[in-house]
Structure 1
């Protein structure tokens, strides 16, 4: 929960620590403290300035009396303060300590056969479109992210059995963790010759990508790791397809399997796969330690009917509705084109209310 006095106290404490003798002997650690202190100081300053503006307006309103011109000015300024407050309230919703991290996003097909595999590919496109909006459409809820496709598994007839992406941008995990869960699609199947309506499911999992200094939190013993190499089946030129550049890591104690075939270099693929593996193990550790619902990604749910967090209906009408928050959008195509902001904000506010 947001606590301004506590943030002010912590900011002052960090500022004082930076003046201690020898603190800058470890420039990397001191730089991290300085960065945290600066962020806290800037946040406290913004709230303090807004509070002063509100107090000044309250005094001005008392002085306005019958002065219509002054009263109108107070009204205009009050609206401006309200808008600023709404923006700051949105900032407060990112309370999770990992909100500022990049995100590892995995999509896998559930019930629905070839339609479910096609649904995986549609969802992958949706998240990539969300991550890469035009400059004029960027906002707190759609800041723009760099997307790296780590691995894809081709479907039997169409689409994808699964895909893993890393989205790097401001608060990528803090935003996309709202997407964890089962996504349900209802439409006339393009793979059904009788043009019947089909329902298909896909599971979306979202994890924070650990920063370099945080990776030590997840210890992976070499004897607990099985490494398999194979030829990439994706695009990438002759080198990728003629050498064993793809890497599959299996963490034996947990059974977690991660693959990467995106890079030409086997070494690079292994590094990327290790990042994803650490994220998955870290997530599991956090869930087991916390033992409470949706600590990082939410409850583990089967990708089948009754467990979905969001419904996407394309036939006989169009509608996308979040089961948890009740947020509903009629323009389903806009949502599939990456316009997820109503659902992201709705989930953040719902999560804060549930806390």
Structure 2
């Protein structure tokens, strides 16, 4: 076996070893058997919230075990193909197997990172909130580009995306946008995306074709369900209703259906204007407020546990996490990990896994106890 191929095989084996350690296939099989037995009980659905939680756990465990088993099987199959091709001197068979092994290594690494998403809220759905920085149309257009990037990323993973609200810019783009991404480990994957994103390009809105720098902030927080208790006193909130903004015409909202909720102790503000019904907007806004308060509590715990990690996750317009340069050269660089891509158009089309995985790996490494 060629040295390069042997290195790929060893990388996959190392990932499988780590996966086996975190997954513990025997424990997962035992737990799946227990969950199947629970699901067959006649009163299983008498508590819908509990039943849904158990079914979600079963789905996630089954998917993780299936993925681990398949990677191990495909590794053995492709090693055999390489050895067979070498015995018969068939270079095409060797090349095909080597190509498959490289793809398998990338997947094994991704599953390895995913297996380490064991935070309290990592398995939850995720809100992504985007705000344009100073700079008017330039930054508003950039905010909308980021919104599209995350939507494309989610669609590539077969996640569901809901636009909770958009505040359109005067000429183009959005002043702010909130999307809800639904899927396994959505928050775990996206949590390191919080921070300021910087764009450098020749402005399409500048008649003199000058280079402009734009900023937008991204905040990521986990969606919460009824199984997570978030107590909010009525005296701690202020609820305002107002008329939704829109493009006008026959679809303009002529009633005060938009809802803004301010949590006075923390200063957290959420708003929703996506629905025509004030009742639906109010329900969505309350769900968002509970999610924001939950995320704040998770962050407080993280700060107490690891001050150094918390310093990296502070959010503000002074904290840039990634730079996207379209002119005079093409480069996307994560300022925390050093990860780069010379294909910013692909990145803006949702190809951000390498940045996410690098940031997660660095955070996981930082959280490991020193030996």
State the TM-score bracket (shorter-chain normalisation): 0.7 to 0.9
Alpha-carbon distance between aligned partners in 1 of 2:349 and 2:90, rounded to the nearest angstrom: 44
Provide the rounded CA distance (Å) in 2 between the counterparts of 1:203 and 1:146: 23
The answer to whether the Cα contact below 8 Å between 1:23 and 1:30 also exists between their aligned partners in 2 is: no
CA displacement at 1:344 relative to structure 2: 3.1
Per-residue deviation at 1:5?
6.6
- What is the TM-score normalised by the length of structure 1? 0.77
Match of 1:43 in 2: 64
| Alpha-carbon distance between aligned partners in 2 of 1:322 and 1:128, rounded to the nearest angstrom | 20
- The 3-state SS of whatever aligns with 1:116 is helix
- Residue 7 (structure 1) shift: 5.5
Task: Tell me the secondary structure at the aligned position of residue 243 of structure 1.
Answer: coil
**Deviation (angstroms), 1:262:** 0.5
The Cα of 1:219 is off from its aligned counterpart by 1.5
Q: Cα distance 1:238–1:283, how it changes in 2: closer, same or farther (>3 A)?
A: same
Contact 2:32 2:62 in 1 (8 A): no
Q: Which residue of 1 aligns with 2:129?
A: 106
From the superposition, tell whether residues 340 and 78 of structure 1 become closer, same or farther in structure 2 (CA, over 3 Å). closer
Select which of 9, 13, 18 maps to 2:27: 9
Measure, in 2, the Cα distance between the counterparts of 1:156 and 1:4: 50
Give the Å deviation of 1:241.
Answer: 1.2
Any unmatched runs of 5+ in structure 2?
1-17
Please state if 1:120 is matched with 2:138: no
Answer yes or no: is 1:279 the counterpart of 2:313. no
**CA distance, structure 1, for counterparts of residue 43 and residue 183 of structure 2:** 31
Q: 1:92-103 maps to which residues of 2 (within 5 A)?
A: 92-94=112-114, 95-97=116-118, 98-103=121-126
Q: 1:200 to 1:14 in 2, by over 3 A?
A: same
Cα root mean square deviation, aligned: 3.9
Cα shift readout 1:114-153 (whole Å, capped 9, x = no counterpart): 4223321222233233334xxxxxxxxx313332222222
Post-superposition offset of 1:185: 1.1
Counterpart mapping for 1:334-345 below 5 A: 334-345=346-357
* 1:208-247 matched pairs, under 5 angstroms: 208-210=222-224, 212-214=225-227, 216-235=228-247, 238=250, 241-247=253-259
Partner of 1:139 in structure 2? none
Contact 2:32 2:61 in 1 (8 A): no
Q: 1:34 to 1:192 in 2, by over 3 A?
A: closer
Q: 1:26 to 1:334 in 2, by over 3 A?
A: closer
TM-score, with length taken from structure 2: 0.74
User: Contact 1:232–1:241 (CA<8 Å) still a contact in 2?
Assistant: yes
Which moved further from structure 2: 340-349 or 226-235? Answer: 340-349
For residue 321 of structure 2, give the secondary structure of its aligned residue in structure 1.
Answer: strand
